Homo-oligomer: A and B are copies of this chain.
Amino acid sequence: METVIEAAVALLDESGESALTFRALAARLGGGVGSIYWYVSNKDELLDRATDHVVAGILADLENMRDAEDPIDNIRAIAETVFAAIVQRPWLAAYFMRNTTIQSNALELYERIGEQAMRLDLSPRQAFHAVSAVLGYVIGVAADLGQEPPQEVIDGTTSREAYLGRVVDQWRALDAAKYPYMHYIVDEFEGHDDADQFRSGLELILAGLRLQAGRGEDATSAESSRG
């Protein structure tokens, strides 16, 4: 059983999502396709279990992280750990938190972040929303950044740099009057680092969270901070 999902994870890591087929997995295990169905009733379940397996690893990493005094520092550290894990295994994002019944470790992760949120004296609703926001952001951005590059990059026809260069050229060719923003940021995009991009957005959320901390429920709705 453990063997099966470890082989599945290995396949996903080595050759991506499309490489995980029952036939390929059976071949790797030196057995028949039918055998896999003894341990797993479904491909969905296989993926859920594979995901939960690596989330367990993430949790173990978090275990070795010692608590900072500031809860927000802790949330930041957890978020960055999760993000790094997804970047390393882009297939994770799509299955993360899809099924908390099977993925018990996902629930554990919620708890870890939530406990830090509670230390900020947030109301239940605020805490719930805060954790959802952080994890939603982490997974969303990671999924976006970790998506499979276009075919031409995969097969080596074009380097990643050349591909990004083409996109940049396309943007620079846009009408500057119609697309002031695109021209404003194109240089930034050209030399951008995915991890920086992620961290900056995370800081926005954390800054918002700090404003909310310990202000009590009714000061919470950001409506009150408008205008």
Q: A residues touching B (Cβ–Cβ < 8 Å)? A: 70, 72-73, 97-101, 107, 110-111, 113-115, 117-118, 124-133, 136-141, 143-144, 147, 150, 167, 170-171, 178-182, 184-185, 187-189, 192, 196-197, 200-212, 221-223, 225-227
B182-A203 in contact (CB<8A) = no
Report the separation of the CA atoms of residues A110 and B179 in the bound assembly, to the nearest whole angstrom: 10
A179–B97 alpha-carbon span in the complex (Å): 17
Copies in the complex: 2
- Nearest-CB residue, chain B, relative to A171: B107
Q: Known interface pairs A200-B133, A204-B205. Does A182 touch B141 (Cβ–Cβ under 8 Å)?
A: no
Residues of B within 8 A of A221 (CB): 203
Judge whether B201 and A70 touch: CB under 8 Å: no
Kindly identify which residue among B107, B136, B227 contacts A70, using a CB–CB cutoff of 8 Å.
B227
